[in-house]
Amino acid sequence: MLDSMRKGVGNIFTKLLLGLLVLAFAVWGIGDMTFRGQDANVIATVGKTQLTVEDFRRTYDEELQAVSARLGRRLTTDEAKALGLHTRALTRMIGFAAIDVNAKELRVTVSDQIVANIIRGDASFKGLTGEFDRRKFQQEISKIGYRSENQYIRDRQSDIIREQLTETIGAAATPPRPVLEALYRYGGETRTVQFITPDLAKLIKIEKPDDAKLKVYFDLNKLRYVALESRKANVLLLSRDVAAKSIAISDDDLKAAYEASKDTFNVVEKRRVSQMTFPDMAAADKAYAELSKAKNFDETAKKLGFPPNEIDLGLLSRAEMIDPKIAEATFGLKKDELSKPIQGQFSIALVRVSDIQGGKQRTFEEVKGEIRDRLSTDRVGQMISTLHDKAEDERAKGTPLKEIAQALKIPFIEVADITQLGKTSDGKTALDHVDAPRIAAAIFAAAPGVETDIIDLADGGYAWFDLVSVTPQRERTFEEAKATAETDYLEAERRKEIEALATKQVERIKGGASVDAIAKELGAKPETADNLKRGAAAPGLTPAALQTVFALSKGDVASAPTVDGKSRTIFRIAEVKPAPAPTDEQLAALGTEIGRQIRIDLLEQYVAGLRTRYGFTVNEKALTQAMGGQALPAE
């Protein structure tokens, strides 16, 4: 419901298109964003439009609630991070803002009266009478983070304007019938394949090359054995975890925090509530008389015009019930007890509780770990800032990084050998840190003898480094690369011989030999795959093999490499079955799907154009703080 409130201006096509906007932006997504310092409250800009931390938090909470509702429980912070909800919320904000800028440029508008009519007609804001209820309206918009009605109305107006733009994008997105028929025939064709996957590696023997032969191979592939430029650097790492270890939190701090916010640790009692409303007390009394004696409550309620699915309000806390009088009566009932008629503020009701999930006050010991994490999160930003300033002061004095590390108890790492790939010259890990690629890039952007810049880490921390030395790229000698070259030579020759042996078997089958006979000869198991379709998985056949299958005709024979490259699958097209004539329903379903894909393509082009036209930036520091100090998940 909350998600539909933000998007919900009726048109299903528009809802789909606005949802796909996130996917379209993900095509060029977070990785393409330019990060730079901005106002601490501005999390991103699109053109001249500024998006605030408050906007991000509200959008993120909507994404969190929408996914939680589908799962039937609230996601934890770690689960939300793993699902990339931060990225989704940010890209959605930026996407909507880009369309808003475009709408202003095109002078697309909507009248206040239309906006008001749509809000009044929103089922989310209707009370028990079925009419617009201002009190419920205020409650619902407050749940999703709006501080004022005007703020929500402005956002709803923007939604409607976006609808006008996005509707035009997919106005002619359904292909004509002849195209759909051709696509249906193409996708509905099936094939039957006979195939074998013998262990061809066992049937061949590759001799080790002598030095002369290996030298020829080396000379032909010298670029593969170049020693990349490597650098030596000293690195000082101030990560979030390091700063957290410097924070001292006493038991007194924990107890004080617990007492100050004890109510926030309560597990609130919830009840599954069925509620029936009546126009007057006489009708309620009559229903109560029947229901209180009923052997089967649900069946009797249904006969009285109250199907269970229509009266079930779900699991509610006392605070979530709109009418305080009905809430009071509800939370005085026992499990499966039916209330007597209740004269509420807005209606007369009967209430039944079918399940009770008891609340409790969690003790200090139960929540001690949570409080420690919360305090650490609250204080770690300040600790990072303090350590950063101290390190910068020492750097300004010319203090070596190693001495700064010892004084501030920050990790100091001597990186003896790192290439631009973030690896050592022999391919091992040069720096074991999530930001190693970023640090390596900075090291390779530095010039010898020039003061280096501080590096912003993804978790909100910092890194400093000194470039010690540079070893230029060079060609390795034959002796240096001999062992690696020999391994590469043997692998190349093995694959070549496997392909030659498979090709020989293909030619034999083309000449009249049966697949079964070849299988027996090679010690392989003959297999048959029926009803293969384009794009569908087939056990025993790689995607490359399946693609080749549909490029051949009946009776053709070919081979394709296995995933590990240690053999090849040899196959024969035994049968090709054309797709049956499509029904109107099948063509309609195909048209819907193809139309959706066309709209995605159009939308991707649209938002890519907006990105180029307006440009956008993201304030990484503000983003990290808005996420509680957690780094944005890598894509």
- Do 43 and 102 sit in the same domain of this protein? yes
- Do 168 and 101 sit in the same domain of this protein? yes
Question: What is the pLDDT at residue 145?
Answer: 66
Q: Which residue has the higher pLDDT, 153 or 33?
A: 153
pLDDT higher than threshold 50 for residue 421? yes
- Percent of the chain surpassing pLDDT 70: 89
Pull the structure tokens for residue 195: 């195939």
Task: Give Cα separations from 592 to 173, 175, 180, 585, 597 (angstroms).
Answer: 9, 9, 10, 11, 9
Residue 573 lies in a domain: yes
Residue 291 lies in a domain: yes
Q: Measure the CA dihedral 372/373/377/379, to 10°.
A: 10
- Vertex 417: Cα angle to 416 and 423 (nearest 5): 135
Closest CA to 247 of 394, 126, 377: 377
pLDDT higher than threshold 60 for residue 630? no
Please compute the mean of the pLDDT values over residues 232-256 and round it to a whole number.
84
Task: Return the half-sphere exposure (C-beta side, CA atoms, 13 A cut-off) of residue 632.
Answer: 24
Residue 497 lies in a domain: yes
Amino acid at site 436:
A
DSSP letters, 376-407, are: HHHHHHHHHHHHHHHHHHHHHHT--HHHHHHH
What is the value of pTM for the model shown?
0.51
State how far the Cα of 463 lies from the Cα of 437, in Å rounded to an integer: 13
Highest mean pLDDT: which range of 82-86, 278-282, 408-412:
408-412
Question: What is the pLDDT at residue 4?
Answer: 38
Query: pLDDT band at 393, cuts 50/70/90?
Result: very high
364-397 helix and 401-408 helix, angle to the nearest 10 degrees:
150
Q: Which residue has the higher pLDDT, 125 or 477?
A: 477
Q: Which residue has the higher pLDDT, 620 or 629?
A: 620
Residue 588 lies in a domain: no
- Do 98 and 10 sit in the same domain of this protein? yes
- Do 130 and 196 sit in the same domain of this protein? no
CATH (domain of 278): 3.10.50.40
Q: Which residue has the higher pLDDT, 356 or 365?
A: 356
- Do 46 and 161 sit in the same domain of this protein? yes
Question: What is the pLDDT at residue 182?
Answer: 92
Show which of 452, 472, 492 is a domain's final residue. 472
Task: Give Cα separations from 594 to 13, 182, 598 (angstroms).
Answer: 14, 12, 6
pLDDT higher than threshold 90 for residue 252? no
- Do 234 and 220 sit in the same domain of this protein? no
486 in Cβ contact with 479 (< 8 Å): no
pLDDT higher than threshold 90 for residue 147? no
Number of domain units in the chain: 4
85-106 helix and 149-169 helix, angle to the nearest 10 degrees:
80
Please compute the mean of the pLDDT values over residues 407-433 and round it to a whole number.
90
Q: Are strands 34-35 and 616-618 parallel, antiparallel or unpaired?
A: parallel
Lowest-confidence pick of 29-38, 209-218, 244-253, 597-606: 29-38
Lowest-confidence pick of 243-257, 347-361, 377-391, 533-547: 243-257
| Residues in contact with 13: Cβ distance below 8 Å, sequence separation at least 6, in sequence order | 167, 170, 599
Q: Which residue has the higher pLDDT, 401 or 140?
A: 401
Q: How does DSSP classify residue 529? A: E
Residue 24 lies in a domain: yes
What are the helix and strand counts (H, E) for the chain?
A: 24, 20
State how far the Cα of 384 lies from the Cα of 243, in Å rounded to an integer: 6
Phi, psi of 239 (to 5 degrees): -95, 170
| Residues in contact with 607: Cβ distance below 8 Å, sequence separation at least 6, in sequence order | 21, 24, 25, 95, 98, 99
Residue 345 lies in a domain: yes
Lowest-confidence pick of 159-163, 335-339, 395-399: 159-163
- Do 531 and 622 sit in the same domain of this protein? no
Q: Mean pLDDT score of the chain, rounded to an integer?
A: 83
Q: Which residue has the higher pLDDT, 529 or 25?
A: 529
- Percent of the chain surpassing pLDDT 90: 34
State how far the Cα of 97 lies from the Cα of 51, in Å rounded to an integer: 8
Neighbours of 90 (CB within 10 A): 28
Show which of 472, 496, 518 is a domain's final residue. 472
Question: What is the pLDDT at residue 55?
Answer: 83
93-124: per-residue pLDDT in tens?
888 888 889 988 888 888 878 888 888 888 88
- Do 85 and 166 sit in the same domain of this protein? yes
- Do 57 and 166 sit in the same domain of this protein? yes
Task: Give Cα separations from 142 to 3, 313, 570 (angstroms).
Answer: 13, 20, 64
State how far the Cα of 196 lies from the Cα of 559, in Å rounded to an integer: 10
Long-range CB contacts (< 8 A, 24+ apart) of 487-493?
488/217, 488/221, 488/224, 489/209, 489/213, 489/214, 489/217, 490/206, 490/208, 490/209, 493/206
- Do 60 and 122 sit in the same domain of this protein? yes
- Do 393 and 489 sit in the same domain of this protein? no
- Do 13 and 78 sit in the same domain of this protein? yes
Q: How does DSSP classify residue 29? A: T
Question: What is the pLDDT at residue 508?
Answer: 96
Residue 586 lies in a domain: no
State how far the Cα of 473 lies from the Cα of 455, in Å rounded to an integer: 25
| Residues in contact with 482: Cβ distance below 8 Å, sequence separation at least 6, in sequence order | 214, 218
Residue 102 lies in a domain: yes
State in Å, rounded, how far the first CA of the chain is from the last one.
Answer: 29
Can you give the residue range of the structural domain that contains 317?
269-358
Name the percent of the chain in helix, strand, coil, to the closest 5.
55, 20, 30
User: How big is the chain, counted in residues?
Assistant: 635
CATH (domain of 54): 1.10.4030.10
Q: Measure the CA dihedral 174/178/180/185, to 10°.
A: -170
For residue 578, with 0-12 CB atoms within 10 Å meaning exposed, 13-18 middle and 19 or more buried, which class applies?
Answer: exposed
pLDDT higher than threshold 70 for residue 22? no
Question: What is the pLDDT at residue 27?
Answer: 39
Show which of 358, 389, 419 is a domain's final residue. 358
